[in-house]
A and B are shown apart, each in its own frame.
Chain A
Amino acid sequence: MMPLSQLASSMARYYFSLRNGRLFDDIDGLELPDIAAVRAEAVAFARDLMRLDYDRRDWSQWIVRVTDENHNVVFDLPFAEAV
């Protein structure tokens, strides 16, 4: 297990891609401190896209897929859960 001191400052890179509604692969990623920040980014990302694409009505298929440095899926966030 990682020592607490190291855990507190362990920034890691996460990738925020889109699936189903639209295919988008994030190859840049963002450095974030913890899973709470990762979830907050995913929710705000989905809200941004729903806010910015005024004409679209149906977001039910859209998903934010968060992956880590090793291409493992951290979680999928359906847009419906970000409303």
Chain B
Amino acid sequence: MTDAQLNGRNRLLAALTPLDLALLAPHLQSTRYKQGVVLQEPGDPIDRVYFPESGMISLLAVMAAGNGVETATIGREGVVGVMAGLSGRNGTGRAVVQVGGDFSHIAVGHFQTAIDQSPAMRELMARYNDAQITLVYQVAGCNALHQVATRLCRWLLQTRDRCDSDVIPLTHEFLSEMLGVQRSTVTVLARELQDLGLIHYRRGRIEIIDRGRLEQKACECYATARRTIDKVYAEPET
């Protein structure tokens, strides 16, 4: 991929110095994936590292019975599979494209070679990886302690940030899986938010109308998660 093709929408790639980016660029490819494509199964070796340019990937913890629950969503602020580059480990969850879009990716071998040549890039990837682990802790607490309506607000805002659009294509199935409630319950919760004038909702297409009030109604985890990601990209304190 040439520099001209790298559109710089992925925040991690955009944060790299030109020299570091040049280590990755010759091996980066971009693919458009549709909703529902499985990029990674738990336990399989990770062969690619994904940098979303648009769209959103969700990581699910998969139980023995085959059902899963959301542990994280990753958009253009992050990367999927970075653990493999840092440690060569296998994948821990299932990675599914939840909102279709363009995804830059690189073979894990090339990624490892690149970060071996740049301590600064390794440091940035490690900081992101630490932040991702912090977010998973946060989601575990949120799932157990926070009311479902406030969790719905958080997921809507988070998906809005990931996709950079007030119109978010989330299905009933996706929301019910994330929140651990029935699809009919999602309908009731979404209608409540619509009656308050916060969103417009119709059959799996949600439009955020009043982002400010939606933020007030969301649980604290939305703001916490934003701060955690922003810290990855903040200039180191001197």
Instruction: Give A residues with C-beta under 8 Å from B.
Output: 16, 18, 24, 26, 28, 30, 41-42, 44-45, 48-49, 52
Q: Is B183 an interface residue (CB 8 A)?
A: yes
CA distance A59 to B147 in the complex (A): 20
Q: Is the interface of B mostly helix, strand, loop or mixed?
A: helix
The proximity string for B residues 127-167 relative to A, scoring 1 for CB distances below 8 Å and 0 otherwise, is 00000000000000000000110000000000000000000
- B203→A28 contact, CB < 8 A: yes
- B187→A52 contact, CB < 8 A: no
The proximity string for B residues 29-56 relative to A, scoring 1 for CB distances below 8 Å and 0 otherwise, is 0000000000000000000000000000
Q: Is B191 an interface residue (CB 8 A)?
A: yes
Residues of A within 8 A of B120 (CB): none
- B183→A41 contact, CB < 8 A: yes
Which of the four size classes fits the interface of chain B? Answer: 10 to 19
CA distance A45 to B184 in the complex (A): 6
- B181→A48 contact, CB < 8 A: yes
Once A28-B202, A28-B203 are accepted as A-B contacts, the answer to whether A48 and B187 lie under 8 Å apart by CB is: no
CA distance A25 to B188 in the complex (A): 9
Cβ distance B48 to chain A, nearest Cβ, rounded Å: 34
- B185→A49 contact, CB < 8 A: yes
Residues of B within 8 A of A49 (CB): 185, 188
Residues of B within 8 A of A48 (CB): 181-182, 184-185
Q: Is B172 an interface residue (CB 8 A)?
A: yes
Quick one: which of B178-230 are within 8 Å of A by CB?
Answer: 181-185, 187-188, 191, 202-203
CB < 8 Å neighbour of A30 from B181, B184, B202: B184
CA distance A76 to B137 in the complex (A): 41
Cβ distance B191 to chain A, nearest Cβ, rounded Å: 7
Residues of A within 8 A of B148 (CB): 52
Cβ distance A27 to chain B, nearest Cβ, rounded Å: 8
15 examples of A-B residue contacts, CB within 8 angstroms? A18-B188, A24-B188, A24-B191, A26-B184, A28-B202, A30-B172, A30-B184, A44-B182, A45-B182, A48-B182, A48-B184, A49-B188, A52-B147, A52-B148, A52-B181
Cβ distance B173 to chain A, nearest Cβ, rounded Å: 10
Cβ distance A49 to chain B, nearest Cβ, rounded Å: 7
Residues of A within 8 A of B187 (CB): 16, 26, 28
Residues of A within 8 A of B203 (CB): 28
CA distance A52 to B185 in the complex (A): 10
CB < 8 Å neighbour of B183 from A18, A30, A52: A30
CA distance A65 to B187 in the complex (A): 14
Residues of B within 8 A of A45 (CB): 182, 184-185
